[in-house]
A and B are shown apart, each in its own frame.
Chain A
Amino acid sequence: MSGNAVEVRNVSKTFRVYHDRNQSIKATVLKGGRAKYEEFWALRDVSLDVQQGETFGLLGLNGSGKSTLLKCIAGILQPNTGTVASRGRMAAMLEVGSGFHPELTGRENIYLNAAILGMSDSEVDRKLDSMIEFAGVERFIDHPVKNYSSGMYVRLGFAVAIHTEPDLMLVDEVLAVGDKDFQAKCLQKFDDLKAEGKTVVVVSHSMGTMRTFCDRAAWLENGELQAVGTASDIVDRYTGEAERPVDLGDGIKRFGSGEVQFTDIELLREDGTPLDAVDPTRPVTVRLSFLAHEPIERPDFAISIRDAQQTAVFNITGHDREWLPERLPAGHGSVDIRIASLPVRAGGYHVVADVRAEGAEIPADKVWGAKRFGVNHGGHSTSGGTLYLPSGFESLRSGDDTATGTLRLMPS
């Protein structure tokens, strides 16, 4: 299994759904067998590979089997048929703080929780300070954890789990713990793991997390594998499928309840003339023209500018800017969004436009790919990166006998 951290082969898993869950001997004797049940297929013939060093997302609605699959990989559940193979040290973060005892101190619980996750005491001895610091509970480490705030409790659990330094990490929705600072710290730690070539398998409902965090993803529905591919592709297909957009041809897709519909999307220069190639140093205005078939209250306009990989390089919504007109009456109209400059690297981009009544689940109209445009700046191109920044090389000095700076990075 060279190159693969996890191999899932034809895995099926059924659960028994009891009609009359009656765990008693009497019922067993009377009914001649245990209580009546139905088989529920949580996973049906799922096969996939997770490569060494990649971050892999599992996507799907509640009950689609993604958590079951994660538990099968973790070894908590055993598949009815098929095999799951993984290699390297594995840590499953399906819950943080597993096995914490409320009466024991933070320190005692660290050793306990670490042992449950497969660490030895000597390993904990070495990492103890780092864990405590990561969790930010220095002052309370010798207090019973029942006195901890829920945030401290979760942070301590997370700190222990992340310090197992696994080769393969399974994560179930625990990225959403703690306050903003702590989340940033966690994401940083995950990035470190990725940089070290560790494998991460994550279940998340957050499409944003999936798109930016994962390299590849799999999409499950009713226990069956729908697709495996790059994370942004899968997220697009998943969100697209969930919303069932209409394909208008030419790569343009539309979805919405239809009270308002976009009639055109244009990019304009400062003087109001349309353009198709954007200079990253110049201002640009996005004009959304629309027809309101019915009036809607407090319309929330939004655009997202995406690159060829479907990564959003720029988002703006009326809600974020608190720009919500009271009412959009029936009839034609347009809205301009002024962008002082769009300093992104040369390449092809497109605009996704969205309008909906404030807080509505379903947009009145959402259009993908209706405006495609290029960005370039007089032959200035970069071989990577995200941004265009006016920049250049300057003044080379060489052949000197003495150094200009310190020799901090030279081994002495």
Chain B
Amino acid sequence: MSATAEPARSRSRRITLNLLKNLTLREIRSEYKRTMLGRVWSLINPLAQIAIYGLVFGLLFRAQPEPGINSGLHIFALWLGVGIVTWGFINIGIREAMQSFLGYQGLLKKVALPRWTLPASKVLARAATYLTEIAVVAVICGVLGGWEILLRIWMLVPLIALTTVFIYGVGLVLAIGIVYFRDIEHFWGILTQVFFYASGIMIPRNVIETVQVETLDAGGYTFLGGPVPLLALFEANPIYQFLTAYRRVLYDFAFPEWQTLLSLTLWAAGTLIVGLFVYSRYQARIVEEL
């Protein structure tokens, strides 16, 4: 009996992986269908974003991050570019994973399949897009900052893996949640705007630090009896930590601090565990709730 059970399990795992591959290809192939430029859009999009935000915040608001540690880079648009592209990955990845069960409801009602593959394929397709986008940014950083970027660029591999797991964990919880409560979608839209500013995409850490020291601490504002922990909150945000880690590699040409890496690993593992828990507990009934 066990002799037949084992191949059956490995066979079903192969089938599931094959399904995941095909679903991911479906997303990737259909994204730029019927466009003349096709995949070139995934290069144009980040460049356009960097140009727009660079102009608005770099020129008009004169935000200035610290110069890159090893690279000596001091170009706001590049510092911004790393953040904006990574933020796009996290934000859109979570949103698409969140909407995956709703979007595939026709399929879910008619076919029995491992349902976790649906949000997973959305996240993987996003990761594929992110790879081209971050590669564009990395090439520009390398050209402007020097070949030394190559020394630590491999660090992107575990970083992207952690980011993908984090996105999947959050997305899975929301994908199940939204089936039961459609409000979550709108609520998440507002939360996204908060995080857009709270994740330090175009606000360098030193700006927050200045506010913390010169306004809050000096002004004697208190929160629950203590000083307002603005900077601590800012730094505790996992998305800020992700952005910081990517910037260390691509803008500073340095390794992320080990505390950051540990924290990101815990965040990724934590969200994945919560996601899988919610999934295994509530997925059986989602077809009826759709």
Contact = CB atoms under 8 A, between A and B. Distances in A.
Interface string B95-125: 0000000001011111111000000000000
B176 to A, nearest CB: 13
Nearest to A73: B112
Interface residues of B, number: 33
Given A104-B29, A115-B18, A115-B21, A24 B182 contact: yes
Interface of A: 15-16, 23-26, 28, 74-78, 92, 94-95, 98-99, 101, 103-104, 108, 111-112, 115-121, 144
B19 A92 contact: no
Contacts of B29: 104, 108
A103 B35 CA distance: 11
Nearest to A78: B284
B19 A116 contact: yes
Contact of A76 (B106, B110, B180, B187): B110
Nearest to B104: A99
Contacts of A98: 106-107, 110-111
A101 B30 contact: yes
26 contacts: A23-B181, A25-B181, A25-B184, A74-B112, A76-B112, A78-B284, A78-B285, A92-B110, A92-B112, A95-B106, A95-B111, A98-B106, A98-B107, A98-B111, A99-B107, A103-B30, A104-B26, A108-B25, A111-B25, A112-B26, A115-B15, A115-B19, A116-B107, A116-B111, A119-B15, A144-B33
B84 interface: no
Contacts of B187: 25
A119 B113 CA distance: 12
B210 interface: no
A124 to B, nearest CB: 9
Contacts of B23: 112, 115-116
Given A26-B183, A92-B110, A119-B15, 18 more contacts: A16-B288, A23-B183, A23-B289, A24-B182, A76-B108, A77-B288, A99-B26, A101-B26, A101-B30, A103-B34, A104-B29, A104-B30, A108-B25, A108-B29, A111-B25, A115-B21, A116-B107, A117-B111
A116 B24 CA distance: 12
Contacts of B26: 99, 101, 104, 108, 112
A196 B67 CA distance: 73
**Helix, strand, loop or mixed for chain A's interface?**
loop
Contact of A25 (B30, B183, B284): B183
A75 B283 CA distance: 12
A26 B289 CA distance: 18
Contacts of A94: 110-111
Contacts of A118: 15, 19, 113
A193 B147 CA distance: 63
Please provide the 4 A-B residue pairs with the shortest distance between their CB atoms, ordered closest to farther: A115-B22, A75-B112, A95-B110, A103-B33
Contacts of B182: 23-24
Contacts of A28: 181
B14 interface: yes
A262 to B, nearest CB: 47
B47 interface: no
A118 B114 CA distance: 10
Contacts of B160: none
Nearest to A76: B112
Nearest to B15: A118
A117 B21 CA distance: 14
Given A26-B183, A28-B181, A104 B33 contact: yes
A112 to B, nearest CB: 5
A144 B25 CA distance: 15
Contacts of B289: 23
Interface string B1-44: 00000000000001100110111011001100110000000000
A92 B111 CA distance: 7
Interface string B250-290: 00000000000000000000000000000000001101110
Contacts of A121: 18, 21-22
Contacts of A119: 15, 18
A77 B283 CA distance: 11
